[in-house]
Amino acid sequence: MRRYRALIIIIAIIIIGMILDPFGLLQPVKDIVYRVSGPVTISLQRLSHNSGNFFVTLSSFRRLARENEELRADNLDLKASNATLKEIGHENTLLKEELNFMQTSQLQLIPAVIIAKSPSGFVDTVILNRGSHDGVKINQAVVSHGFLIGQVKKVTTHTSEILLITSNSSMIPALMQQSRGTGLLHGGLSGLHLEDIQLDITVQPGENVISSSLGKLLPQGIPIGTIKAIISSESDMSQAAAVTSPVAFSSLEIVFIVK
Amino acid sequence: MTYWRIFIILIIGIIQIGIMPYLSFEHVIPNLIFIILITNILLGQDQTALWWLVLGGLILELFSPLPFGLYLLPYLIIYIIIRYLLRIYLLEPPPLLAMVVFFAASLLYNMVVMIILRLASFYSLPILAITEAILGGLIYFITWRRHIQKSPIKI
């Protein structure tokens, strides 16, 4: 009987939680828990992060030095590419300018036309008229007006499916250009959100957001947009910000796949 | 005894939230609370398992961005399933069999969450299940040996 009582209590907790949570009524409880545990967990995070780095550094110092040299060289190239992309992104607005962007960019680009869009409102995808035959590969970045709009998810011989960054299931590593804070860019019904920004980073509205090479999925430095507003609260474990992109996603016609 | 139990669960909860995310690989973060919960169920420690279920589950719920119930409810279902299987088939299974239980439970739980939320790729599921099976098997082996020594069979 005692065990059944315990099970009934657990089920009651679950039901009450499931009812309260969608209305945000658990938020005060979470706030208290975060405030109480915040200093401990942040210290632990820093400790584990630092100790992790320390052991990694000890075990692979030589490899890191070589990688650092390579990364510095890559970084310089990417900075140059980024500067070109930014300049072109501001200059070009129409198809003619898109072509001009292609000619002046240092990135190798494949022009492509959108031939279909996803019928579902839950997943924002577009189909392009370029495929593996044209050199398209999975995870390549797709830009419009110099700004990142998505990533190649599926490739057939002559077409490719692009998951737009506005999609709910899109998650892209991004970097804030001035503060150098990193985060994950999510799409969704409420717009673009840059999440998981470390608490020690000062996020400023208007700051440029660019792609990050974390995870080695995208080249670093492709402009994405700008920070619109900070949307996280003080009690959150990390910061989050709303991001605006100058690209009109609903009227995309011609885009470029970054080789 | 109860205070100690609560204290240990809180400590493990903080470790899970503060340290485990930094020890992840291939986006896989082993869940210590889940592992210890199953260890207690397998050892027939009903009371302790229920404490881990409620308090551990609540800690994860409060720190999780997922909708409420995605930890507690599957944990409760897994608790009931394993308890039922144990009653019918075996009590205090050997560590290797326990690892199979850890693997199956991890796969089951994470697959349900993944399907509901489309959070991760299928690629990470078996890696997570294997990690939790190995870690769980190790923790279970240590506690199982202690348990056997403490309660020898009397004829």
Chain A nearest-CA distance from B125, in A, is 18
pLDDT at B25: 65
pLDDT at B14: 84
The pLDDT of residue A248 is above 90:
no
On whether any CB of chain B is under 8 Å from the CB of A12, the answer is no
- Nearest CB among B14, B69, B73 relative to A41 is that of B14
- Nearest CB among B17, B22, B62 relative to A30 is that of B62
User: Average pLDDT of A188-192?
Assistant: 78
pLDDT at A121: 46
Predicted structure pTM score: 0.50
- Nearest CB among A10, A29, A43 relative to B76 is that of A10
The ipTM, to two decimals, is 0.72
pLDDT at A60: 62
Hey, are the CB atoms on A10 and B21 less than 8 Å from each other?
no
User: Average pLDDT of A124-149?
Assistant: 86
Q: Which residues on neighbouring strands pair with residue A175, listed in sequence order?
A: A182, A210
pLDDT at B56: 92
| Distance between CA atoms of residues B2 and B10, nearest Å | 12
User: Average pLDDT of B80-102?
Assistant: 83
The pLDDT of residue B94 is above 60:
yes
Hey, are the CB atoms on A11 and B76 less than 8 Å from each other?
yes
Hey, are the CB atoms on B68 and A6 less than 8 Å from each other?
no
Give the pLDDT band (50/70/90) at residue A119: very low
Chain B nearest-CA distance from A82, in A, is 29
Question: Contact at 8 Å (CB) between A172 and A185?
Answer: yes
pLDDT at A149: 92
Residue pairs between chains A and B whose CB atoms are closer than 8 Å: 65
pLDDT at A57: 54
The pLDDT of residue B60 is above 70:
yes
DSSP per-residue codes, chain A: -HHHHHHHHHHHHHHHHHHHGGGTTTHHHHHHHHHHHHHHHHHHHHHHHHHHHHHHHHHTHHHHHHHHHHHHHHHHHHHHHHHHHHHHHHH--SHHHHHHHHHH-SS-EEEEEEEEE-S-SSS-EEEES--GGGT--TT-EEEETTEEEEEEEEE-SS-EEEEETTSTT-EEEEEETTT--EEEEE--TT-EEEEEE-TTS---TT-EEEE--GGGSS-TT-EEEEEEEE---TTSSSEEEEEE-SS-GGG--EEEEE-
Give the pLDDT band (50/70/90) at residue B37: very high
User: Average pLDDT of A114-138?
Assistant: 74
- Nearest CB among B14, B18, B54 relative to A13 is that of B54
Hey, are the CB atoms on B63 and A237 less than 8 Å from each other?
yes
User: Average pLDDT of A164-168?
Assistant: 84
On whether any CB of chain B is under 8 Å from the CB of A13, the answer is yes
- Partners of residue A13 in chain B, C-beta under 8 Å: 54, 58, 72
Give the pLDDT band (50/70/90) at residue B115: confident
Hey, are the CB atoms on B23 and A48 less than 8 Å from each other?
yes
The pLDDT of residue A94 is above 70:
no
- Partners of residue A11 in chain B, C-beta under 8 Å: 76
The pLDDT of residue B143 is above 60:
yes
Hey, are the CB atoms on A9 and B54 less than 8 Å from each other?
yes
The CA distances from residue A65 to A60, A62, B96, in Å, are 9, 5, 43
Residue type, B33: I
pLDDT at B34: 92
In the three-class reduction of DSSP (H, G, I as helix; E, B as strand; rest coil), residue B70 is classed as coil
User: Average pLDDT of A248-258?
Assistant: 82
pLDDT at A185: 92
The pLDDT of residue B106 is above 60:
yes
Q: Picking from A3-12, B17-26, B55-64, which range would have the lowest pLDDT averaged per residue?
A: B17-26
Q: Which of residues 26-55 of A touch B (CB under 8 A)?
A: 26, 29-30, 33-34, 37, 40-45, 47-49, 52
Give the pLDDT band (50/70/90) at residue A184: very high
User: Average pLDDT of A167-175?
Assistant: 86
